Amino acid sequence: MKEFLKLLKIEFKRIFSNNVLSAIFFGAPVLYGILFGFVYQQAKVVDLPIVIVDQDVSPLSDQIIDAFEINEALLLKDLRYTPGTIAEEMPGEQYAAVITLPSGFEADILQKRHPEVRVDLNMANILNANIASKNIQQVLMTVNAGIEIEGLQKQGMPQSQAMESYESFKINFNKLYNSTGNYLSFMLPGLLGAIMQQVIFLAMALVFARDFEDGYFKELVKGKKWSVYHIGLKATPFLLMLPVMWFIVSQFFVFFNVEADIFNFPMLILTTLLTFASMGIGMLFSILIPNQLKATELLMVISTPAFVLSGFTWPSLAIPESINAFSQSLPVTHYLSGFRKVAFYGGDMWDILPELKFLTIITAITLTTMVVVLQLKINRTKKQVDS
């Protein structure tokens, strides 16, 4: 134990002497957590710029324009009476939608000709287009309902009866789990989970690769020849520091008022297994590829698309099977699946058993492979040292 503590002290010195490793391990989670938190702090999209082309210029078109002006998600950037050069303006203005009220619009409605309101959506940004489309439909359907009810009243029907005639049934949407549609609550957990996996990958990729490069590994194997001992030695500093980093990351949920139940036992187990699985993959690459730059580059290639492939934003069912199979080898895929079950749905240990099983399998496979491969390298290095 005395020898282990002596070597552990050296490991801490080597970790903190590596400026790149320190910056990645301590700086990235904090920096990205703050950055992404403030990016999505507004929680919902507002003031999407739209253009209304009013070719009718009537009391009814004025009423519709007023309705759009009070909608929170839409911003009436321009009101014009002819289309003009909208296509040429798009690179600079990037309008979310162009709404055209045709000439004779009010007259056609009064004569029951059912005129058409044209809505041109900018689909370059699908999120903006979906939000704009939803709010435009909401405004136009509300105005449309008002016109129908007013028409029935003019025919002599009482207002209450006119409303019942137009609305044969009601629809009541009850929003569950992030009921406010808060985009921060939706995105921040996935981004932080992917960032922590990447940070662990990159930090662990350096632990053995650096020793191979600067010759320190030869000094290590002179004392102890068992791979399990050296794996434990390299893992211990991070097992002591990672809980601190996870605690800091968890405070972003508190600071930004994210509605997620993360301080519970199932989440603790899930996060612990993500840590073990990510450490296992990172250390395995560090042993297999005895070059710091190559090890980190390969892990970057693997971890960069992890968030997209995890199924957190784009459903796994829509991902091709071959790609989906690869994503199952990434710890964050199972972590984010379990995270949603616990943090948003209120699930317990039983609910996340599949995710825990996969994370345990990844940990076991990487640890077993590490022990075997590192032992072979130790035996070979020891022969070189002895000779």
Query: 53: part of which helix (H) or strand (E)?
Result: strand 48-54
CA distances from 296 to 29, 62, 193, 208, 376 (A): 17, 60, 19, 12, 22
**Which pLDDT belongs to residue 242?**
94
Neighbours of 124 (CB within 10 A): 10
Q: Rounded distance, CA 286 to CA 109, Å?
A: 72
The reported pTM is 0.79
Comparing C-alpha atoms, which of 130, 64, 134 is closest to residue 100? 64
pLDDT tens string 112-165: 788 888 888 888 777 788 888 889 988 888 888 777 666 655 666 666 655 555
Beta bridge partners of 121: 97
**Which pLDDT belongs to residue 169?**
43
CB 225 within 8 A of CB 305: no
Comparing C-alpha atoms, which of 73, 72, 52 is closest to residue 62? 52
Residue 365, amino acid: I
Q: Rounded distance, CA 302 to CA 326, Å?
A: 10
Six-digit token string for 370: 């590490």
Comparing C-alpha atoms, which of 15, 7, 365, 369 is closest to residue 205? 15
Six-digit token string for 289: 């590829």
CB 363 within 8 A of CB 276: yes
Q: Rounded distance, CA 122 to CA 93, Å?
A: 11
Provide CB contacts within 8 A for 343, sequence distance 6+.
Answer: 189, 260, 261, 262, 267
Residue in the block written with tokens 């009070």: 70
**Which pLDDT belongs to residue 168?**
43
Q: Rounded distance, CA 327 to CA 12, Å?
A: 33
Q: Which residues of the chain have pLDDT under 50?
A: 167-169, 171
Domain map of the chain by residue range?
Answer: 2-40+183-386, 48-166
Neighbours of 216 (CB within 10 A): 13
Class of domain 48-166 (CATH, top level): alpha beta
Q: Is the dihedral of CA 348, 353, 358, 360 positive or negative?
A: positive
Q: What share of the chain is helix, strand, coil (3-state, %, to 5)?
A: 70, 5, 25
**Which pLDDT belongs to residue 26?**
76
Sheet holding 48-54, edge to edge: 74-80, 48-54, 97-101, 118-121
**Which pLDDT belongs to residue 83?**
83
- The proportion of the chain whose per-residue pLDDT surpasses 70, expressed as a percent, equals 90
pLDDT tens string 239-294: 999 999 999 999 999 998 888 899 999 999 999 999 999 999 999 999 998 888 88
Six-digit token string for 66: 């007023």
Q: Rounded distance, CA 33 to CA 195, Å?
A: 9
Burial of 1 (0-12, 13-18, 19+ CB in 10 A): exposed
CB 73 within 8 A of CB 132: yes
Crossing angle between the packed helical segments 265-288 and 331-339, to the nearest 10 degrees: 170
Comparing C-alpha atoms, which of 117, 143, 129 is closest to residue 49? 129
Beta bridge partners of 78: 51
CB 358 within 8 A of CB 334: yes
